Structure 1
């Protein structure tokens, strides 16, 4: 990978919510430059001073612009295609897209055999801290019930959120696999060991996650709320800079945070 002091980045989905946030925040940083932005929905204009090109030309543009790392928050199908282009052209990839099928996830992992790939459902340091707290609480309170609730904007496609699924996996890692019940209706008493999962969609909420750990006489509530998308964009840019000098392999955002401690 590059030994430059400023990482050269490409941003996909540049006209989307996260794409625009990434371009805006990157313009104020001194550790990276966005040298390429692409979009399928509205190319041929500028965002934060960066020209937006047609995403269909991405493989050629990655090479022409000497890109170090691609940052992707699009959709599963597009993301798999973009990361495959990165693998072909020796470009690292940071993936914040969620909702992948098992086959799509496997395709991303194959790409990581050729280039560094960092995939995370959430790039918030606060969520990283929440996950650690959840694991500790579930280990310390093995007989308590667990319920996970996530809330996002009304345009989010996948449910539960990628972050909620990651938290559920954290609980399983600590306690072993348990059945997940998505919402409840009618006569549905809680079964021992099950984990309740609840998804809400409303307005423009960037993301909220709550984990309720409840016993017979007390309960613990652990939660995180993102106030704007900037927290995710900043974290993704941190991950991209960190990834720019890594060897091929599969990484997650926890590695970035651990490296800073």
Structure 2
């Protein structure tokens, strides 16, 4: 039985994780915390997040799953490092200074951090790397859409896709298969007179309604257009993926891991 702690239990993703873990065979929620007072979630009492260090020592979970915000998430992972608890982190938008804190924690416990826990997104990223590699001089435009309460833009998943594009294009420049000599430039939206410059990658973030998440990379050139798209229909897909990651992470040596490592 894998015993799980969940932070941000009052949020949309925290609730999804608790409900999914409660229904999953071989897994049990032994601890749930939130920054504000909320009622029970899926029959589990939600406690004050300020008590997390003590609760980790008392309940001794195998792994903590976190979908919150960068500041509290950093504190939670530090508490995991102190308590010897593995951590799965789905929070995005960390500045570099906080990523360094997470890296320090990973010297003591296994920490798996991912911008997206949908297996389809992992397949999308692999397909994007292959497509960008096969179409070296095609224009690239990335569009992502999320619900109107999402704070960070572009999304963490969009940034991961952009890193994939940059990595492949850098390899192409090094090998001489790409004609541009300079690096890719990200252009966030366009307004006024904005002719497309060679080498730029357009980035467009949309926030509307209750859209769970959609990412599309468009590649255009040679009188043809290729689009690669992933659409999440429910937050449950992210909760399931995070719990898959938690199951995989328990018992691993200390270090930094990514969701793609589990696939």
Q: What's the TM-score, normalizing by structure 1?
A: 0.95
Who is 1:27 aligned against?
A: 22
Mind listing any 5+ residue stretches in structure 1 that lack a counterpart?
1-5
Question: Any runs of at least 4 consecutive aligned residues in structure 1 with deviations exceeding 2 A, and if so which?
Answer: none
Instruction: Look up the match of 1:41.
Output: 36
Shift of 1:46: 1.2
Q: Is the 8 A contact 1:212 1:222 kept in 2?
A: yes
Matched, 1:204 2:210: yes
**Residue of structure 2 equivalent to 1:92:** 86
Residue 41 of structure 1 deviates from its aligned partner by 1.5
Q: Which runs of 5+ in 2 are unaligned?
A: 171-182
Identify the residue that residue 104 of structure 1 maps to in structure 2.
98
Offset, 1:225: 0.3
Q: 1:32 & 1:14 partners in 2: Cα distance?
A: 17
State the Cα distance separating 1:81 from its structure 2 match: 0.3
Secondary structure in 2 matching 1:254: helix
Aligned residue among 64, 70, 74 for 1:70:
64
Matched, 1:187 2:193: yes
1:124 paired residue number: 118
- Cα deviation 1:194-235 (Å, max 9, x = unaligned): 000000000111100000011131010000000010000000
CA distance in 1, matches of 2:30, 2:161: 34
State the alpha-carbon separation in 2 of the partners of residues 209 and 31 from structure 1: 33
- Residue by residue, what CA displacement relative to the aligned partner does 1:25-61 show, whole Å, maximum 9, x if unpaired? 1111012111000001224x31111110000000000
CA contact under 8 A between 1:31 and 1:241: conserved in structure 2? no
CA-atom RMSD, angstroms?
Answer: 0.7
User: Where in structure 2 are the equivalents of 1:102-251 lying within 5 Å?
Assistant: 102-176=96-170, 177-251=183-257
- The alignment's TM-score, normalised by the length of structure 2, stands at 0.94
